[in-house]
A = this chain, B = another copy of it.
Amino acid sequence: MSEKIRIGIAGYGNLGRGVEVAIEKNPDMSLVGIFSRRDPSQVTPLRETTPVFSMETLTERTADIDVLILCGGSKSDLPEQGPALAALFNTVDSFDTHARIPEYFDAVDAPAKAAGKTALISAGWDPGMFSINRLYAEALLPDGETYTFWGRGLSQGHSDAVRRIPGVAGAVQYTIPSDAAMDAVRSGARPTLATNEKHTRECYVVLADGADAAEVEQAIVTMPHYFDEYDTTVHFISADELARDHSAMPHGGVVIHSGETSDGTSQVVEYGLTLSSNPEFTASVLVTYARAVFRLSAQGQHGAVTVLDVPPSLLSPKSPATLRAELL
């Protein structure tokens, strides 16, 4: 029997917890442990048997971990951790600030290549599975348009961004797609849709003591990359309401591509996700791509890569012959 792929988790929030349970669904993997910046005695893993270590001890564990899954946030954690840890480990992360992916790719690529490591960036579902589906659809139907609709769902990246604003004690953000816009796209009509015709954003915010609501609202709606292009509504609620009504983390969305293969011959491709738990699904994507990273590393493909570079067959524990027989 072959050895299991040994996984480490760097950072233990919702995403790290999702990785912890996702590894249980993959019998070809084993969890070395959680590495946290907090005092390990203060971290309570979902499973009693999961070891917790200080993030500082990671440098001593390079021989024990085949792939390290980085579970920090995109705004401040990954820009530092991604390049630093790709010099020590094969890594997978979920860097999701779309506009900054090219610079992040370069920042991770150099240390990974120098160290002979493989670093897969920006896995998850968007960027991630949605990106893959945009690529497939656009390549198959070049005379066409691709539309992405998100939600209705709670966006972790956007919620985190709101929570970092001074004066915010707690917050969630929901992304809401327009049914009329989706129906127009599915009809093959290829409408021109402004960003704010496709979705709206809704924030539920708990103010910190003494914070100014108008200032906080202004800071949210003008935030670059996250909110400035959207119609954003901000609701101020109590901490009790936040805990009671907004603790689930559903999400999802669709990528729809409508094109023509000849004059008047409409072809529509749609990929959709309906997720009860966004962080658990994102974590499952990271864990699956950890398997591919392990194999790419063994093949000598070093440096930064993305989900667009990975052959589907590398994601499955099954052999190529089994995949051909069962799935083709």
Contacts and interface: CB of A to CB of B under 8 A. Distances in A.
A310 B308 contact: no
A300 interface: no
Interface stretch (A50-58, A236-244, A260-268): A260-268
Contacts of A186: 274
A267 B277 contact: yes
Interface stretch (A4-12, A76-84, A210-218, A282-290): A282-290
Interface residues of A, number: 65
B325 A285 contact: no
Contact of A288 (B133, B139, B272): B139
A323 interface: yes
A contact face: mostly helix, strand, loop, or mixed: helix
Interface stretch (A67-75, A98-106, A150-158): A98-106
Contacts of A280: 261-262, 265, 267
Interface in A9-27: 18, 21-22, 25-26
Nearest to A272: B270
A194 interface: no
A202 to B, nearest CB: 23
Nearest to A126: B328
Interface in A103-142: 105, 122, 127, 129, 131-136, 138-142
B122 A328 contact: yes
A155 B29 CA distance: 41
B22 A261 contact: yes
Given A141-B284, A265-B276, A276-B266, A328 B312 contact: no
Interface stretch (A34-42, A162-170, A314-322): A314-322
Interface string A300-315: 0000001111111101
B22 A132 contact: no
A323 B142 contact: no
A21 B284 contact: no
Given A139-B312, A267-B276, A309-B313, 14 more contacts: A102-B321, A102-B324, A105-B324, A135-B312, A135-B315, A139-B315, A140-B285, A140-B315, A267-B281, A271-B271, A307-B328, A308-B311, A308-B313, A308-B327
24 contacts: A25-B143, A98-B328, A101-B325, A129-B136, A129-B140, A133-B271, A134-B327, A136-B312, A138-B327, A139-B291, A140-B288, A142-B317, A261-B284, A265-B276, A265-B277, A265-B280, A267-B273, A267-B281, A268-B274, A270-B272, A272-B272, A306-B328, A307-B328, A308-B327
Of all A-B residue pairs in the complex, the 7 with the closest CB atoms, nearest first, are A261-B280, A139-B315, A127-B328, A268-B274, A308-B313, A131-B328, A270-B272
